[in-house]
Structure 1
């Protein structure tokens, strides 16, 4: 605790700038600092860090990290508090997090957040979207928000509308009508800010003077995709743009997949409006199903590959067939009416699409490689938030598959990968 406070003292002004309310005392300062710091050193959804925080709290976990605690000391601290972690797990976690401790970069990230008007939302805040807590140890440590912090506080019903980036005219038309109709019924529209279905869901909500929230896979200081900078700026004016990643963080394939769990968890139901057989929006659907949230899918022409994913959800995974805003509202409205009596489903795990394994560490390693600039093992490990030994194991497999190759100065991603 004292270590965290010493580190935080020089940052009190900038930490105050990213909070909507005054920092009450040193304990509150330690908590804000710790969650911001831990969110900058771990990849989204790190279950081991979540277990550590559950056992000893964010401030104590950050203090151990800053004090360069040994794996044994880290494990002992958690075990003494009733947690379950061994020295091997602790060693793996510390090897992932420690290389990312960069106090200068952390301070610059906070200053950038203050410059763009981002606010750090914590689980103890009234505006916190409580649905994300159902992610258990994989829940976000904090959320960076630009716009209205209370956009997802539960005061109004919310529904996520997701689908393919390469949307057809049919998919965009259905999305436009659905989003507008749901706004008219008092719903907040949640999506991922991407091209295609996501963008149309946001635009229609704005055109109908409704509230919409976009979850990003990178920092909220630089909107992605760049072609949606104007759209995301408009969302900030009346809704919110949200990310669990600190300012300056770049979007990667792994982070998009992890972002999808927040879209599903922060809303009361998910509807896939148009999706190919392997569309990334099916990953969001998988998270919704794992959480026990209502899942709907809009059918399309049976000859259209762009609707094959929706048909797969309907045929194989018991999604509810919905065709308009009224049916989508019923899908979520029924769940909201039963929410007080519904027991929580099984704790989400590291699995994705409706019981199929999520992409492995291979995705994270590929994200960290460059096709032009060779990178050393330690740099790759830091970039993807894995241990060097785990990265080396993945690189060996990628090398055998021709997706990565050795270089005198490190490793390169094969251009065909």
Structure 2
């Protein structure tokens, strides 16, 4: 019998997360056509969804025999989590941009609202075997974004992911970890305490039901959720074959903002980022303010304009700068007529500018000659 009652859809979708791998296009299309409850009933009762092969349906049916979605839901509730499905107030509707490959549902652990955290979120991803430079930059970016009210999303892996989560939490910000395993599974093992902290200060999210362990394909598939959930993705360090680049490509395909932090040109771990920047697939960013400006509201998150230190000669009028450049730096100096020829200006104007420069302390008069006063900060060579 199919599930009935108010919780039928949730139970059916919970069961389907055990039957199908994340992002299964065919299963997503069947849910769209039949609904989750009818699809599960069809599989269990020996029917065949539209276009399904017999062997595949037989495999699903064999798995379906031992399903207990109610136990899975209770297991997650005991962790302080829940199973969020499309149509729930907590469902982030931006995930619907994935079409039939959107998650069947999301298992979560943590008290925060997934939808509210994701409204103003940025993904920070990169290499697992990152450099000290990459870890530092990721931590600084995450902390800066959290201080600006942004939620940092990553995958709880070693390297850049961990630095991003820690950077956000160090300044009291929430963070979301999208996992390639069940929310009750600490992976990698070395991040057991980090994952526990994220569940307390933010949220753990996974398409996989409790107890499921990661594999290589699940890591790749979860990247589409990171890309779709956030307003933009920032790649800090990534080699040419890095999995982080798949997140950036997904973000670009979903019309999300894609950014890259440049690294040393000699570093293989930055080659993937540099390729994104060179081809125009990502925008170069160097700090949290620039990321916020790109991903935030128009005119609401502008980064401060960066410029070099203002020097005394910067305030000089153009003619005064021409005259100053024409005054010899040597101890002997030169008469005003020689300075006028070098500056290409009328002698009377040059004389006027020389006196202005004297009052400002740039030049001095020695008899009939004019010379530069020592060497000042901002002069050529400084």
Decide: shared fold, TM above 0.5. Answer: yes
Match of 1:153 in 2: 116
Match of 1:45 in 2: 23
Q: Give the drift of 1:249.
A: 0.9
CA contact (8 A) 1:119 1:145 kept: yes
Do structure 1's residue 3 and structure 2's residue 6 form an aligned pair? Answer: no
**CA distance in 2: counterparts of 1:296 and 1:178, whole angstroms:** 12
Of 100, 105, 123 in structure 2, the residue corresponding to residue 142 of structure 1 is 105
Match of 2:170 in 1: 207
TM-score, normalization by structure 2: 0.75
TM-score, normalization by structure 1: 0.69
SS in 2 for 1:176: helix
CA contact (8 A) 1:193 1:199 kept: yes
- Superposed, which structure 2 residues align to 1:8-23 within 5 Å? none
SS in 2 for 1:103: coil
Of 183, 187, 199 in structure 2, the residue corresponding to residue 224 of structure 1 is 187
How many residues were matched structurally? 300
**CA distance in 2: counterparts of 1:148 and 1:132, whole angstroms:** 20
CA contact (8 A) 1:151 1:239 kept: no
CA contact (8 A) 2:119 2:230 kept: no
SS in 2 for 1:274: coil
Match of 2:219 in 1: 256
Do structure 1's residue 268 and structure 2's residue 234 form an aligned pair? Answer: no
Q: Give the drift of 1:149.
A: 4.3
**CA distance in 1: counterparts of 2:172 and 2:107, whole angstroms:** 24
- The worse-fitting range, judged by mean Cα deviation, of 313-322 and 151-160 is 151-160
Of 141, 144, 151 in structure 2, the residue corresponding to residue 188 of structure 1 is 151
Match of 1:294 in 2: 257
Match of 1:282 in 2: 245
**CA distance in 1: counterparts of 2:117 and 2:17, whole angstroms:** 24
**CA distance in 1: counterparts of 2:69 and 2:297, whole angstroms:** 44
**CA distance in 2: counterparts of 1:62 and 1:149, whole angstroms:** 30
CA contact (8 A) 1:49 1:93 kept: no
Higher normalized contact order (CA 8 Å, seq sep 6+, divided by chain length)? 1
- Superposed, which structure 2 residues align to 1:9-158 within 5 Å? 26=5, 28-69=6-47, 71=48, 74-75=49-50, 86=51, 89-91=52-54, 93-103=56-66, 106=69, 109-153=72-116, 156-158=119-121
Q: Deviations over 1:357-381 (max 9, x none)?
A: xxxxxxxxxxxxxxxxxxxxxxxxx
**CA distance in 2: counterparts of 1:225 and 1:128, whole angstroms:** 27
| Structure 1: runs of 5 or more not aligned | 6-25, 76-85, 338-417
Q: Which has the higher helix share?
A: 1
CA contact (8 A) 1:127 1:153 kept: yes
CA contact (8 A) 2:92 2:118 kept: no
CA contact (8 A) 1:127 1:149 kept: no
Q: Deviations over 1:361-417 (max 9, x none)?
A: xxxxxxxxxxxxxxxxxxxxxxxxxxxxxxxxxxxxxxxxxxxxxxxxxxxxxxxxx
**CA distance in 2: counterparts of 1:151 and 1:38, whole angstroms:** 21
CA contact (8 A) 1:149 1:240 kept: yes
**CA distance in 2: counterparts of 1:175 and 1:153, whole angstroms:** 23
- The worse-fitting range, judged by mean Cα deviation, of 186-195 and 104-113 is 104-113
Bigger radius of gyration among the two = 2
- Superposed, which structure 2 residues align to 1:347-366 within 5 Å? none
Query: CA 1:257–1:317 in structure 2 vs 1: closer, same or farther (change >3 Å)?
Result: farther
Q: Deviations over 1:100-147 (max 9, x none)?
A: 224256565444323323310111111112221110000001100000
| Structure 2: runs of 5 or more not aligned | 301-382
Of 307, 326, 348 in structure 1, the residue corresponding to residue 289 of structure 2 is 326
Q: Deviations over 1:12-36 (max 9, x none)?
A: xxxxxxxxxxxxxx1x221111100
**CA distance in 1: counterparts of 2:152 and 2:145, whole angstroms:** 8
Taking only aligned residues, the RMSD between alpha carbons, in angstroms, comes to 1.9
